Structure 1
Amino acid sequence: MSVHLSESTSETRDGGPAAVPGQPGAPVLEAVPVRHPGRWVAGALVGVVTLSVVVSLAKNENLDWPTVWHYLLSDLVLSGLWTTIWLTAAAMAVGLVGGVVVAVMRLSPNPVLRVVSGAFVWVFRGTPVLVQLIFWGFLGAFYPTTTIGIPFTDVVFFEGSTSDLVPATVAALLALGLNEMAYASEIIRAGIQSVDAGQTEAAHSLGMTPGRTMRRIVLPQAMRVIIPPMGNETITMLKTTALVSVISGHDLMSNIQAAYAQNFKVIPLLVVASIWYLALTTLLSVPQSWLEARYGRGVAGARQGAFARLVASRQPKEPIA
């Protein structure tokens, strides 16, 4: 935006110098927006391309919209959708709780805890989640029988078939939960280390135990660093559940594949799956934005999304003294 001075006020009546801006008789400041034709051209090109893609998809007969609407709310799809939702929630719960434990172990002064937790992260973060899914799905071929008892003795409390104890859905939960535990531990460890060490020292000087200090002082401050990547991890976990189809976990993608294996309508049913995944990821973005606004209060440069601004606008404002 450029600013021009009006000629009628650039001099005083007696020919003296112009008045200082902001005082009586000062020159009139006229704001003239700077033109950016390149932005309008780029916007028009992007709009035309987007519109052409949308129209092409809408008019494509191979998309078969009647089949999409028929399966969108069918019992088969809704059943798989429920499995996908609870798998995501359960795997993230396992990952978060276990991630806190593993992160604390990695920060422990005990070398045994550090080595064991580091080896855990190395194994589960270093192998593909698809390999882990298949491994847990075929755990019965590795350990045909599961035995629970006192190690190195003949005392047995329970013994049963591994295939019966670990069906496809349980195998999927183990694979996704343990994999997420490894990634979450690194995120949580980074969040804990981002808190100034003086906070811990001050809490200890007040007589707080290490566990209480971690729960009441360190973790609440670390949440500002933990929440954004963990929100992305939750969305990633939702989409990763599609891999459960390789062990027939009866999730959304498994049921979609079973349907198009019978009617051969692959594209319409993949559109159904995409619609549901997009809807769920959109819903997950709402609490993530709220949590970021909640734990980022009072921090300079904290990201404020549209939902966060809406929440902030509804907060009661304290009167100014």
Structure 2
Amino acid sequence: MNRNVIITCALTGAGDTVGRSEHVPVTPEQIAESGIAAARAGAAIVHVHVRDPQTGQGSRDVALYREAVERIRDSGVDVVVNTTAGMGGDLMVDPQRPTNHLEGTDLVNGVERLAHVEELVPDICTLDCGSLNFGDGSLVYVSTPDILREGAKRIQELGVRVEMEIFDTGHLWFAKRLVEEGLIDAPAMFQLCMDIPYGAPADPALLATMVNQLPDGAVWASFALGRMQMPWVAQSVLLGGHVRVGLEDNLYLSKGVKATNAQLVERARTIVESMGASIASPDEAREILNLKPKA
């Protein structure tokens, strides 16, 4: 069991959730304010996506990232900033003519996915460690070994900690290869992402199996979607890991009750502390992850 638990709050994501809850932040100001509130509630890390303020759709716009991250940094609230670097991997395949790319395709190379990371140099950024049939329909998330190696090398050169996002068991296999090849600095940081169709299901036995395959010295967290978000907090802590909650993964505090990010962090904190563990501060998270001290 983990006795000092880092809570990450994933603030907004890029999924089609804006119309489903008024609490999902859209503008950079809303995203920053939601992150600040989550940090005050006990999150040591905020995971940042941005959205087009006009459409609510996920975006790779560097200016939007700049505004959101600078607002968080300038707030005076201490929190570790973790930006996604997963945008730019969406391939919409025409099922009748698979060589055609349909509307919704946003596919760029590994370095182009890092434009905002290059400029802002966050504490952490993500690396989605494999391709995936993403839900029903014709969306494939594309993240090939060559793309991943290119991205990991550049992130390492920038001095940013990589959070390797693992959506299935083969992704974990390849992520361990990145560690062996020296493309991931110690301590290797893994996020085990469960219940995303069609990756690894939210099965406690599968989570335990994946944890048992992590390399020595790894730091890890996991999460699951929807109603499994809070049970997964307990699963993760019991197996020795850290936790992630937030509106990217779940919109509800309880059945029919829409949540804010701060409320989800507060609920996770209650679970962790009721288990006899403590919540890691941002400085403790920096120590666990061997990050640079706050400037």
TM-score, normalised to structure 2's length?
0.20
More helix per residue: 1
Of structures 1 and 2, the one scoring higher in RCO (CA 8 A, sep 6+) is 2
